[in-house]
Amino acid sequence: MSLTSDVRGLRDKALVGLLLLAAWWVASLFFQYWVFPSPPRVLAALSTAISDPAFGSFASNVSVTFGRLLVGFVLSIAIGGVLGTLMGLRTNVEAFFRAWVVFGLSLPAIFVAFSLVIILGITNWVPILTVTLVGIPFVALNMWEGAQDLDSDIGEMSDFFGASRRQQIRHVLMPQLLQYLFPSMYWGFITSWKVLFIAEVFGAGSGVGYMVNYWFNQQRVDMLLGWVVVPILIVILAQEGLRLAE
């Protein structure tokens, strides 16, 4: 993908964002501010969230959330990537884990979060493990399909020229798998964010999800939205970074 097309794509996305922002502003004119707040009211709420240290600083809650997201995301990519690759390369591994991957994909994230809350209580590990357990089957499925599509001719050629096992993994296997790993990371990051948010709402005592749940109970839609504006922008920028890296 060329630099020009990247710039054009970012410009188009920015235009769509501005149109959605304008539509939001117009729609807010038809509702009471406590039901559907306007963008300026949400920005005012964001300013309040940043300046009010009553529940810990805004930066600390956001950093806690993204720390959990990073740990859970990395674990899901590492475990799911290895599992999916082995499933694609070895039929006995595929036969054993196929049903478990399908089972994992069918589990709702909220069920996983509730189960972990019951088992572990309200701890920092609930959102992390929720992200990990929900993400592993998703990543494994993509890598499984990728490993099945490997070009066997390249592998046979490397054997013919006497390439070592390490050289085959580094120069033959990994380059082919990376084209499936990056899409897994791209979409897996968004999925991980949504799963983490749910887990923090029900199973954490800090973080963005916890604060959103608090303001939901206070029926303050403006503060609820104010707490998610910055995290959503960070997620969008991170996703674009992964796409460009691909």
d(CA 43, CA 40): 5
The model's pLDDT over 80-115, given as tens digits with 9 standing for 90+, comes to 988 988 888 888 988 899 999 999 989 888 899 889
Q: Is residue 172 pLDDT above 80, yes or no?
A: no
Q: Helix 58-89 to helix 125-148 angle, to the nearest 10 degrees?
A: 30
Between 212 and 14, the more confident residue is: 212
DSSP code string of 43-98: HHHHHHHHH--BTB-HHHHHHHHHHHHHHHHHHHHHHHHHHHHHHHH-HHHHHHHH
Q: Give me the amino acid identity at 170.
A: R
CA 105 from centre of chain: 15
Q: Is residue 124 pLDDT above 70, yes or no?
A: yes
Q: How confident is the model at residue 131, as a pLDDT?
A: 92
The model's pLDDT over 195-217, given as tens digits with 9 standing for 90+, comes to 899 898 888 888 899 999 988 88
The model's pLDDT over 175-193, given as tens digits with 9 standing for 90+, comes to 666 677 777 777 788 888 8
Q: Cβ(29)–Cβ(37) under 8 Å?
A: no
Q: Sort 151 into a burial class: Cβ within 10 Å, 0-12 / 13-18 / 19+.
A: exposed
Name the token pair of 33: 């501010």
Q: Is residue 35 pLDDT above 90, yes or no?
A: no
Q: How confident is the model at residue 237, as a pLDDT?
A: 85
Q: How confident is the model at residue 179, as a pLDDT?
A: 72
The model's pLDDT over 38-56, given as tens digits with 9 standing for 90+, comes to 888 889 888 888 887 766 6
- The whole-chain average pLDDT of the chain stands at 82
CA 157 from centre of chain: 38
d(CA 173, CA 118): 41
The mean pLDDT of 235-239, rounded to a whole number, is 83
Could you tell me the pLDDT band of residue 158, with boundaries at 50, 70 and 90? low
Strand partners, 56: 54
d(CA 107, CA 100): 11
